[in-house]
């Protein structure tokens, strides 16, 4: 994310320096640069950054390129009432690049409608389940080596259309401004992969994966709440 913002800011500074050194001035281009905003955001997608600018048009349109990053790999130990330990090792990561357009339909230019698309450059939703103490189920004791491990992974479409609504001025007169957006991505139906080692291999649990996947087909929308801190370049 830092590299994205540094490169974007450096590119803008290079253009501005060229004009300051006596190159022919394009008023329209300079005005566009003045309406460029760099932002940092925290959202349900993770943390990220974006760069946005006004699009020349009869209506108020703002184009935006963004990037977000999320990672979670904190191990979780669950103690059952029978004092057995179930150990979860998650590996959840997502890197998403977005391209959006915001439309301000009202005269006060505070409320906007936002649409676009996101692309999941990196996507991993994985968890490994083990039991270091073994497991006691209904009076039946399962040793740790017999329990083995369970690997579960879920994958959605990498290309995700987006629609949302937000509050915030397109280009604020102040250097710093804040905007808030809520919307959702459509990710398609999830695909589930499961691998079992130990006593679960002798069960019919693997045959239920297709049924679970079918029951999850409606889990296709990813809600997004985003708070954005924006800085106007000039």
Map out the domains of the chain as residue ranges: 2-232
Domain boundaries 2-232, corresponding CATH code: 2.40.160
3-state helix, strand, coil in the chain (%, to 5): 20, 55, 25
Residue among 210, 220, 212 at smallest CA distance from 188: 220
Over range 88-113, report the average pLDDT: 93
The residues, ordered by sequence, that sit 6+ positions from 215 with a Cβ below 8 Å of its Cβ are: none
Of all residues in the chain, the percent with pLDDT exceeding 70 is 80
Q: Tell me, yes or no, if the pTM score tops 0.85.
A: no
How confident is residue 21, by pLDDT bands cut at 50, 70 and 90? very low
Dig out the tokens for 162 from the structure.
Answer: 């987006």
- Would you tell me the crossing angle of helices 2-20 and 27-34 to the nearest 10 degrees? 150
Mean pLDDT of 5-14: 46
Q: CA–CA separation, 141 vs 138, rounded Å?
A: 8
pLDDT of residue 75: 93
Q: Is the pLDDT of residue 13 over 60?
A: no
Q: Of residues 165 and 20, which shows the higher confidence score?
A: 165
| Partners of 67 in the β-ladder | 49, 97
Q: What is the pLDDT of residues 179-223, one digit of tens each?
A: 999 999 999 999 988 888 876 666 666 667 778 788 888 889 999
């Amino acid at each position: 994310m830092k590299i994205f913002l540094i490169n974007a800011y450096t590119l803008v500074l290079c253009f501005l320096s060229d004009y300051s050194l006596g190159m022919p001035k394009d008023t329209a281009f300079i005005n566009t640069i003045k309406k460029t905003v760099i932002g940092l955001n925290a959202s349900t997608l993770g943390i990220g950054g974006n760069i946005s600018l006004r699009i020349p048009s009869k209506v108020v349109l703002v184009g935006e390129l963004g990037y977000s990053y999320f990672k979670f790999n904190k191990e979780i130990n669950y103690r059952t009432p029978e004092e057995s330990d179930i150990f979860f090792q998650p590996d959840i990561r997502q890197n998403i690049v977005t391209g959006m357009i915001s439309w301000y339909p009202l005269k006060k230019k505070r409320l906007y409608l936002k649409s676009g698309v996101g692309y999941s450059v990196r996507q991993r939703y994985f968890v490994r389940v083990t039991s270091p103490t073994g497991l006691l189920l209904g009076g039946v004791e399962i040793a740790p080596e017999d329990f083995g491990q369970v690997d579960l992974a879920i994958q959605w479409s990498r290309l995700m259309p987006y629609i949302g609504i937000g509050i915030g001025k397109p280009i604020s007169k102040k250097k710093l401004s804040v905007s808030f957006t809520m919307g959702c991505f459509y990710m398609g139906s999830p695909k589930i992969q499961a691998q079992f080692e130990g006593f679960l291999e002798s069960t019919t649990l693997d045959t239920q994966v297709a049924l679970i996947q079918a029951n999850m087909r409606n889990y296709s929308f990813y809600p997004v709440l985003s708070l954005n801190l924006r800085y106007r370049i000039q």
